[in-house]
Amino acid sequence: MPRARSRYAPDRGLTGRMVTTMFLIGLLYVVFVGVLLAALRGSWPIILIITGGLFVAQFWFSDRIAAYGMGAREVTPEQAPELHGTIDRICALADMPKPKVAIAESDVPNAFATGRSKKTALVCATTGLLRRLEPEELEGVLAHEMSHVAHRDVAVMTIASFLGVLAGIITRIALWGGFARSRPGNDPAGILLLLIPLISAVVYAISFLLTRLLSRYRELSADRAAALLTGRPSALASALTKVSGQMARIPTEDLRKAEPYNAFYFMPAFSAKESMGRLFSSHPTLEQRLDQLSRISTDLSR
């Protein structure tokens, strides 16, 4: 018998945004590959092989690559009994299969989830987070990460981010192997080839904006789902406030190492208070998240 849907509150807004994002990303992908095929007619088999291969690799291996890049090390219940115990309680509350449990050796207080499905899911907490949070706060954070698995938005974000990576790689290939063979003048192929960097930049910008808009909403959705599942929005709010405050005390070098993975993290890490990254953050502001949790707390108390 297939397992029923988890007890995490469904979010139609998130589902609609995921479907819309995937449709637009797919359309953009088709247009981008079409332009490449028109510009590099003689190289179309190579383009199809490269784009197809990269897509398969991104889908099947990106979660493992991300987990490895963030230093996730899978641990047993004997090695991390408290962490496993918290995950077990959340799985029982949500009626979900237990994901792999991991710890990352980092003083940056954070957590993340990866995985294409519930079967391949991994939930990881850093040593900095485990050291700083109280048990109920940790439960709120891990329930937030588990909701990403339940709603499948981790897989959608992985696929959605693929096009931006592809645009950059294909542009380098075109610049390296195409310009040397291009002929100036009125040759349509040569003109298209010269336009590839510009088209690539536009594709990357649109892909970036689409994934950022989805990412911000999915973080609010995960906060909401975790608060409703545990019934303790105040614990999650406390964890958010504590983690945000502790970020300022983390060495800049450590924060810079964490910044490339901000889209996966529970709380983004910035190496400077006025970092330009805040303008394009993958997360809503702390004030937005706390305001939502406050409203949920009020509703639950009625």
DSSP state of 107: S
Q: Catalytic residue among 145, 253, 259, 287, which?
A: 145
Beta-carbon contacts of residue 301 (< 8 Å; ≥ 6 apart): none
Beta-carbon contacts of residue 201 (< 8 Å; ≥ 6 apart): 167
151 among annotated binding-site residues = no
- With tokens 């991104």, the residue in question is 58
Q: Is 78 a catalytic residue?
A: no
219 among annotated binding-site residues = yes
With CA atoms as reference, report the closest residue to 110 among 246, 228, 286, 211: 246
Distances 105 to 48, 84, 134, 187, 278 between C-alpha atoms, Å:
40, 17, 19, 56, 25
148 among annotated binding-site residues = yes
Strands (E) in the chain, as ranges, are 72-74, 100-104, 111-114, 122-126
Could you list the active site residues? 145
Residues within the annotated binding site for Zn(2+)?
A: 144, 148, 219
Residues within the annotated binding site?
A: 144, 148, 219
